[in-house]
Amino acid sequence: MAATSHKLTGKQIASRASFCFGNVGHSAFYGVMSTYFIIFVTGGMFNGLPKSVANRLIGLITGLIVGVRILELLIDPLLGNIVDNTKSRWGKFKPWIMAGNIVSIILLLILFTGIFGLAKVNWVLFAVLFVIIFITFDIFYSLSDVSYWGMVPAISEDSQERGIYTSLGAFAGTIGWNGLTIIVVPTVTYFTFLATGKHNEGPVGWFAFAAIVSAVALLSAIAVCLGTKEKHNIIRKSAQDKTTIGQVFSAIFHNDQILWPSLAYLLYSCAYVITNGVLFYLYKFVIGKPGQFWIVGVIATIIGFCTSPLFPILNKFIPRKWLFIGGQISMGLAYVIFIFFRSNVFMMDLGLVLFNINFAQLVTVLTLTDAIEYGQLHNGQRNEAVVLAVRPMIDKLTGAISNGLVGYIAIAAGMTGSATAADMTAHDIHTFDSMAFYIPLVFAMLSILVFAWKVTLSEKKHAVIVEELKDKLANGNAESTANATVEMPAEKTEDGAKTETIAAPVSGKVMAMKKVIDADGQPFPGTGFAIKPSEGKIYAPFDGQINFTFGTRHAFGITSDQGLGMVIHIGVGTVNMRGEGFNAHYTDGEEVKAGQLLFDFDRDQILNAGYQDVVVTFFTEPKRISAMKGLEPGKQVSHGDSVVDVEFK
């Protein structure tokens, strides 16, 4: 009775491995341009220039980077439309992955030469060219980034597989990002020594470091393009509708359970990225041991490998609110260690462990996902794409803030040019501590207050909300569609009503709705029918469009081409399983054909959890229905068999 598991083919393994390796280079390249380029700018790019001119150029470059990062929030939807409208023999994503990588690599390497030393000849011309080059660079990198993550639905068959691709990409991204921390100082120092005979981080070393990472990024892009294949049949038409920043802010301010988790995450993210961006300066200028900076990457990688798989286990016993708060407390303790105990190697390593033990990102994603049903219940709006765009938007915004503050901290604390730890004064270190640790510590503590007092959408409350929403949908009192559906010409009866034949969405025994007892001990509400399943597969009951899927994946809405809206609800009480054992084979908004496989569900898992596996199909606008003909409770049906003819207005 369990959902069928399929043995992976060689092509599937190659596709997953290629996509996974793709983000090793992709994330490493992003780390170079977002973190280490700033370090290069403040450290080696302007060696030989007067300090006043160098600081002016550092301020210009960091300010420009902040501006471009914020501008990126506005242009990402436009770039997404460019990708979506691309038609080539290689698909829509691969051309931009390759072109984006090649162009951005060339431009980044030019930037790591200091535009061939132009600043020392004509710093005004340097500034003008830098603006042009960096904006062009960022556009092409963004095209590559949008294409890499945008291709996930096009290379996967169902929600489970999409989750695997996304997890593999995130896992590889951790390796790529933290791997930089491990290799940056040894690489830069080694190549600087080869060129100059000096054991420091010079411009030649930084260029070699950028070149090596760029080569890995190019190889990763090639692997993705050669190892994956787009499945054009599952790329839904509605995916071309891109989310704008205006829609994101509208969603935030019309749903308090998007607003407050977003604010808490923004505070956490600001704290994390600011501190993470200046840890190199801590080791080089405050502790005076830049050669030990590699340990930051090792610890972050190990903790990252542990926290992601540990989260679902802990969340079975600990509500996610407390996991969020616990992570912030851990971060707060790390700041105390960074400020008062950094001279002790063991304590510093402990601080790095505590700093990286955090579940904020996972908790935020799950809370925002649950807020989709919360919004649908309270104001009739789902807007999944808008809600799920909130966290990436915050990540980009805090990345911009980090880039600006890192440059400012370096200038304010005198950590620029050829300065060393010996040049640091007590005032410099105090300035550094204030902006690198004290202010982020305040942000982390404020995030605790926001999440503890304002985020009320717990796992249990979400289950209650979903049940209330189900009842409203069944009684025709809630909006059931996320996208407008175009009604096709329909067969009409003499009184002008339309007729829709509903095929069995699952094989099994037909039941009357009143025979299904809901979780509250009452008959399942609404108008429709139920089937006691003999298999764990759900098929489309007619030609139509998927409107939405509950975040718990146990129910989804579908509207026929003739305009008849339905919800197919898998099991009773299964909202509490929070998606475990359910696997969708579509994306929301996809147009489907009668008999198309839509869902796998694990009947054994449902029954062993103490819930009913009955599949309930109810209509979302029961007042439009004038007659239901041919329904035979007790009849055995196979999926695709006619169950009932519905007349509706």
Strand, coil or helix: 26:
helix
Neighbours of 211 (CB within 10 A): 14
User: Are the C-beta atoms of 465 and 550 separated by less than 8 Å?
Assistant: no
- Residue 546: in which H helix or E strand, if any? strand 544-549
Strand, coil or helix: 592:
strand
In whole angstroms, what is the distance from residue 79 CA to residue 73 CA? 11
Q: Is 199 a catalytic residue?
A: no
- Residue 469: in which H helix or E strand, if any? helix 459-474
In whole angstroms, what is the distance from residue 59 CA to residue 408 CA? 7
User: Are the C-beta atoms of 567 and 474 separated by less than 8 Å?
Assistant: yes
350 Cβ neighbours under 8 A, 6+ residues apart: 337
Backbone angles phi, psi at 573, to 5 degrees: 85, 0
In whole angstroms, what is the distance from residue 643 CA to residue 503 CA? 5
In whole angstroms, what is the distance from residue 354 CA to residue 303 CA? 9
Query: How many residues are recorded in the chain?
Result: 649
Burial class (CB in 10 A: 0-12, 13-18, 19+), 195: middle
Q: Catalytic pick from 26, 569, 585, 639?
A: 569
Q: What strands lie across the sheet with 612-619, from one edge to the other? A: 591-592, 544-549, 555-560, 565-572, 612-619, 528-533, 508-511, 636-637
User: Are the C-beta atoms of 141 and 104 separated by less than 8 Å?
Assistant: yes
In whole angstroms, what is the distance from residue 399 CA to residue 301 CA? 20
Catalytic site positions? 569
